[in-house]
Structure formats: structure tokens, C-alpha cells
Chains A and B, each alone.
Chain A
Amino acid sequence: EDQVTQSPEALRLQEGESSSLNCSYTVSGLRGLFWYRQDPGKGPEFLFTLYSAGEEKEKERLKATLTKKESFLHITAPKPEDSATYLCAVQAFGNNNAGNMLTFGGGTRLMVKP
């Protein structure tokens, strides 16, 4: 069974204090790893897709990296508007390759104080 574990569950940062969020995964075969941002009471907003170990993607203050067992979301000099829950999800090869379901982790709640 595919599993995704995110840590920490919650993270408090001061504005400008850089840090990293971790996503560990166990899958039968990774097709893609996705990062989403979710604001309270809203649907997840797509950030990145990573396909293979060694791949990196950047968007503003965010950079996502991927290894064979985990992914990191690095946040450089965060601002209060970066406060949100960050979700990691995987698409895996399975018995039914016709679908492309996402398996999510529990998320990391990030709070950035001014």
C-alpha cells in the first residue's frame, strides 16, 4: 500500500527564517510527486510536479527537490502570506494503471509571523 508521511505536522517561522518541509513516501513505483498549498476552507492549489530523483523545481520563495525516498519543500525568506498547509501527494504504478489517483500525506501547517 502506498504511504506518504509529512513532517513536521506544524511549523512556526519568523518572517525571513528559511526552513524545509519533508515528505517521505513508500510506493510500488513512483509516477510523479506533487506539492500543493491549501489555505483554510479552500481547495488545494497546485505548486509542483516532480518525476524522478534529482529533479528540482522553483517558484518564487519555494523550491522542491526529490530523492528516491523523500521530497523536500524549501522555503527561503518566508513572508506571512506563505502561511498555509502544504500537502504532498504521489501518483504510483499499481494494479490499475488506468487511473491516476493521488495519495496524500497529512500536510504541514506553516505559520510565518511578521
Chain B
Amino acid sequence: DAGVTQSPTHLIKTRGQQVTLRCSPKSGHDTVSWYQQALGQGPQFIFQYYEEEERQRGNFPDRFSGHQFPNYSSELNVNALLLGDSALYLCASSLGAGVREQFFGPGTRLTVL
């Protein structure tokens, strides 16, 4: 049973560029959440997708956007990259609404120079 997968593993960009990160949820899961984790800190919630719509959003600017596809996979897009966007981006999947465990992927390490 495949767990959550993310691509790419690492990415280096320069300020002002745009980036797209990808996530495939755990088999049978229909909900995808994205988190940003700065070095030495806990993950911070960016947004959550369910049935191809953004269901909930954290305190992140509009430069952060996403998409969910009919097969439940998801993309995170970040425009006009800033140095402060350098972080580990984590994707988590779960089943439906309610109190559900979220299972995390290995993350994408984004470095902005």
C-alpha cells in the first residue's frame, strides 16, 4: 500500500520565481492538506483540499495557491518567491471530514536564493 508521495524531493529557486510542488495521497484517501515547516519549527497549515475545492485555509498570502485533481492528487503553487519561503513543504492526506489522522509524505525541501 503506497503512502503519501511528493515530488520533487529538493528544489532550488531564486527570488521572484514561481514553483509547483506535487503530492499523491495515500491509497483510499480523498483529502489533501499542505503544511510549511521552517527549520526547527513545527509545521504550519497552508490549506486543505477536498472534492477539488479549497475547504480550509491558514494564514498564508494569496501567492500560495493550490489545486486538487479528480484522482485526489494535489499541487501547491507559490508565486513571486521570497527568501522566507525557504522551508520543508509537507503534504498530508486523510479520509473525509471529521477527526481523522493525517498521514504525511516525506516533504519537498525548497531553497530560495
B99 partner, pick from A43, A96, A98, A100, beta carbons under 8 A: A100
**How many residues on B have C-beta within 8 angstroms of the other chain's C-beta atoms?**
31
Contacts known (A99-B55, A105-B42); A49 close to B99, Cβ less than 8 A: yes
Residue of B nearest to A9 (CB): B40
- Whether the pair B104, A44 counts as a contact (CB closer than 8 A) is yes
CA distance A96 to B57 in the complex (A): 10
List the A side residues contacting B44 at CB < 8 Å: 104
Q: Which residues of A are interface residues toward B (Cβ below 8 A)?
A: 4, 6, 31-32, 34, 36, 41-46, 49, 51, 87, 89, 91, 96, 98-107
Closest CB in chain A relative to B41 CB, distance in Å: 6
Contacts known (A44-B104, A98-B55); A51 close to B99, Cβ less than 8 A: yes
List the A side residues contacting B101 at CB < 8 Å: 34, 46, 49
**29 cross-chain CB contacts under 8 A:** A31-B99, A34-B101, A41-B88, A42-B106, A43-B90, A43-B92, A43-B104, A43-B105, A44-B104, A49-B99, A51-B99, A87-B43, A89-B42, A96-B55, A96-B56, A98-B56, A98-B97, A99-B55, A100-B48, A100-B56, A100-B97, A101-B56, A102-B35, A102-B43, A102-B92, A104-B42, A104-B44, A106-B40, A107-B41
List the A side residues contacting B88 at CB < 8 Å: 41
Residue of B nearest to A42 (CB): B106
